[in-house]
Chain A
């Protein structure tokens, strides 16, 4: 069965302290891996799509990477406004369903 595990569940960083979030996945034929950011009281906001191992995408302080078993979201020199829950989802080649992880709650302290 397709599934996604995110770690850590929660992460507290000092402003400027770089770190990485992990998304491990099991899927039958990866069609795509997706990263989202969710702020309290809001819906998930799309960040990146990765399609094949070795692929990387960057946006401001965020960089997403992909291997055959996991994806990392690297946050470089985070700011308080980067505080949010980061969600990972995968889509396999059986059906149209996205499988989401439970997310990593990131808090960046000034």
Chain B
């Protein structure tokens, strides 16, 4: 399998649930990213990891908790989400600064 793979593709959860999103990249990249994509808005960067170390946290609420156990895997743990958190969550990987990022197909998250 090649590229960036995200699971699940769709997720519906209640506000009190706990769930996790998974991302795996097979491109040999050392940087991984989480983005949020909402309708009519630019992609919002949430977290950046370089060589498993978190290097950016864009003032993301604590109900989103990232985890990067190695350079190929990235998780986003979700708990006590709000309806406004419903969006497409995209994972990307890249070789670092000034290099293109390569995206997965995202997880469509709906909060009831």
- B-binding residues in A (CB < 8 A): 4, 31-32, 34, 36, 41-46, 49, 51, 87, 89, 91, 95-102
Closest to A41 in B: B105
- 6 A-B pairs in the complex with CB atoms less than 8 angstroms apart: A43-B103, A43-B106, A44-B43, A46-B100, A97-B48, A101-B42
Chain B residue at minimum C-beta to C-beta distance from A4: B42
Other A-B pairs, 10, CB within 8 Å; known A32-B99, A43-B90, A98-B43: A32-B98, A32-B100, A42-B105, A43-B4, A49-B99, A96-B48, A96-B96, A98-B45, A99-B42, A101-B42
Inter-chain contacts of A4 with B (CB < 8 A): 42
For A36, list chain B residues within 8 Å (CB).
Answer: 103
Asked if A43 contacts B97 (CB within 8 A), the reply is: no
Chain A residues in 8 Å Cβ range of B98 = 31-32, 51, 91
CA distance A51 to B50 in the complex (A): 22
Q: Please report the C-alpha to C-alpha distance between residue A102 and residue B6 in the assembled complex, in whole angstroms.
A: 23
Please give the distance in Å from A81's CB to the nearest CB on chain B: 18
In angstroms, Cα B38 to Cα A102, docked, is 10
